[in-house]
Chains A and B, each alone.
Chain A
Amino acid sequence: MRIFRSLARVWVQKNISVYIGLIVTTLFFGFPLYWMISSSFKVRLEWLISPPAYWPSLYTLGNYITVIKDYFSPYFFNSLIVASCSTVLALAIGSLAAYSLSRFSFRGSEKVAFWILSTRMLPPVAIVLPMFFFVQYLRLIDNYFPLIMIHTLFNVSLAVWLLKGFFDEIPQEIEEAAMVDGCNTVRVFSKIVIPLSAPGLVVTGVFCFIFSWNEMLMAFVLTRYRAATLPIQVVQLARGVFGTRWGPISGLTTISILPALVVVICLQRYLARGLTLGAVK
């Protein structure tokens, strides 16, 4: 009886149940990642065997060589270009709008803010067909520009709402003091607000970047080869192919999540805020 009681005490004190719960959830969320990364080092014979090869008996870099040779360029660089440009654009126009919504009081500002937010909820599939006609009419298929603009559209709501939150946190006294010194709004914005909210800009930018990096449908419809991005390549290889080749696919997907890993390691503090569009601080 005593043993049980002391065991129970240890159990509660050391949070054993908490650890068990956490280890189980970590296994659930970690295993698929492990599976993908380990699959990317497997040789052909172990891609699809039963029972599954949990520990590859042989490690190879062959899958990565295939990926780099055949599936990497230009898709990886296209992804970089599209994601960077749309991020910069979303930050540029988003910060202007956010500043306006944060500082200037005007009638209907709440409504405008939510209208901007609601573009985030727009199902991409609802605009993909008209967008296809539009871009085709402009003869811009397989061009970076329309893709960048559409990713900007999807990102701008996030940018506006997150940046508005960051701007709200900057004490207004500094700006008022600058105004008294004769600065106009534009100068206050560029010389004071932007530098002060630099961390916020970085956080927002990273979220925009990841979103654009991950987007598939628009890129799938609007690009062919020269502007095609990495997710397109994942679709082409993983979806109903004459012979699904899991090794190279795992290699490609592992490469494609590298930016996400960087974010997770650097920006854990801001994740909740970014993902709820600033609803959680």
Chain B
Amino acid sequence: MRQRPLLWLAPVIAVILAFGVFPLGYSLVLSFFKWDLAGESAPTFVGLQNFRDILLTDHRFWANIRNTILIVIIGVVFQLIIGLGTALLLVKEIKAKVLFRTVLVVPMMIAPVVVGAIWKNLFHYNAGPVNHLLSLLGLDRIDWLSGFPEGVFAIIIADTWEWTPFIAIALLAGLQSLPQEPFEAAQIDGASKWQIFRFLTLPLIKPIVIIVLLLRVIDLFKIFDTVFILTGGGPGYSTETISVYIYKVGLSYFRVGYSSALSYILLFIVTVPIIFLHRYFSSEAKL
């Protein structure tokens, strides 16, 4: 009997073409135009000028890059360390495991806007529990949402709260599916706990670590909702990320061409981790 694989794929491909590829193509065309919708001017073709302006003269863009890269690097490191630690704790045979795990997984199911709203309250200078805790510990209160770098750390903390559980749960699943024999053999051979972790556990869960890391890197590069609520990118543009800037240029200032060019730069940046991800997804190096 004849199989028609493409016929089965057609609806999905149609949706992606219509609602993903088509807007992207349109956006690519727009990125070569100077089009200021607020001023009601007609679009004029300017070639690569938008890209040149962004990369060479736009200080705000480079501040955004700085913020975004800080959020990606520090965020991922935090999340990986805490996530791996939590997973190693949860893999032990302990009581009340379900309770711990349940509390842990709630944050990642919550809408990022809600996460932003919760943490905006927690970070409040006077009435926020975070500063209250600091003052109880005898430390100075921190003005969390009033600029760089505190604001960027506030964003990282909120995102870490939401997404560390994701890493923990994924690694926990990885750890639980590991074969038992090598560990028993290592114990008989008298390997120390650290040796077992370093030379046995870690290599075995490496593929899964890399996949969750790449997923986090991609998500953090596009971080929008949390920043939008928590600081709105301000004061000035000290805590702004690229996504927030694209939104503002496009839908607050209505500089359509410039915004499209910016979004293509973001797309380009995100493509790098996606290529790495491709290697891992297609090499069947899964657990």
Binding site for B on A (CB under 8 A): 15, 18-19, 21-22, 25-26, 28-33, 35-36, 39, 47-52, 54, 92-94, 96-97, 99-101, 103-104, 106, 109-110, 112, 114-119, 121-134, 149-150, 152-153, 156, 160, 179, 184-185, 210, 213-217, 221, 230-231, 234-235, 238-240, 246, 249-250, 253, 256-257, 260-261, 263-265, 268, 271-273, 275-277, 279-281
Contacts and interface: CB of A to CB of B under 8 A. Distances in A.
Chain B interface extent, by class: 35 or more
A149 B15 contact: yes
Contact of B111 (A216, A261, A273, A277): A216
Given A50-B126, A156-B12, A239-B228, A123 B270 contact: yes
A141 B127 CA distance: 40
A29 B12 CA distance: 37
A231 B211 contact: no
A109 B111 CA distance: 34
A253 B281 contact: no
Interface of B: 1, 3, 5-6, 8-9, 11-13, 15-16, 18-20, 22-24, 26-27, 30, 82, 85-86, 89-90, 92, 94, 98, 100-114, 116-122, 124, 126-129, 132, 161, 164-166, 169-170, 172-174, 177, 208, 211-212, 215, 218, 221-222, 224-225, 228-229, 232, 243, 246-247, 250-251, 256, 259-260, 263-264, 266-267, 270, 274, 277-278, 280-282, 286-287
Contact of A126 (B5, B24, B165, B280): B24
Given A48-B124, A234-B117, A129 B161 contact: no
A184 B8 CA distance: 14
6 contacts: A25-B89, A33-B106, A110-B282, A185-B1, A234-B111, A256-B114
B281 A114 contact: yes
Contacts of A265: 102
B207 to A, nearest CB: 8
A160 B113 CA distance: 27
A153 B15 contact: yes
Contacts, number: 289
A234 B114 contact: yes
A134 B112 contact: no
A97 B110 contact: no
A280 B161 contact: no
B101 to A, nearest CB: 6
A160 B11 CA distance: 12
Contact of B16 (A35, A119, A263): A119
Contact of A268 (B18, B105, B166, B278): B105
A216 B121 contact: no
Query: At the interface, is chain A mostly helix, strand, loop or mixed?
Result: helix
Given A121-B277, A133-B26, A260-B110, 8 more contacts: A93-B12, A114-B282, A119-B20, A130-B22, A152-B19, A156-B16, A268-B98, A272-B169
Given A117-B281, A261-B106, A279-B281, A18 B89 contact: yes
Nearest to B274: A121
A133 B35 CA distance: 13
Contact of A156 (B15, B105, B224): B15
A201 to B, nearest CB: 16
B170 A275 contact: yes
Nearest to A150: B19
A32 B119 contact: yes
B92 A129 contact: no
B108 to A, nearest CB: 7
A46 to B, nearest CB: 9
A118 B16 CA distance: 11
Contacts of A104: 3, 5, 8
Given A114-B278, A276-B215, A280-B208, A152 B1 contact: no
A271 B100 CA distance: 15
Nearest to B99: A26
Contacts of A234: 111, 113-114, 117, 229
B92 A15 contact: yes
B119 A30 contact: no
Nearest to A253: B114
B139 to A, nearest CB: 15
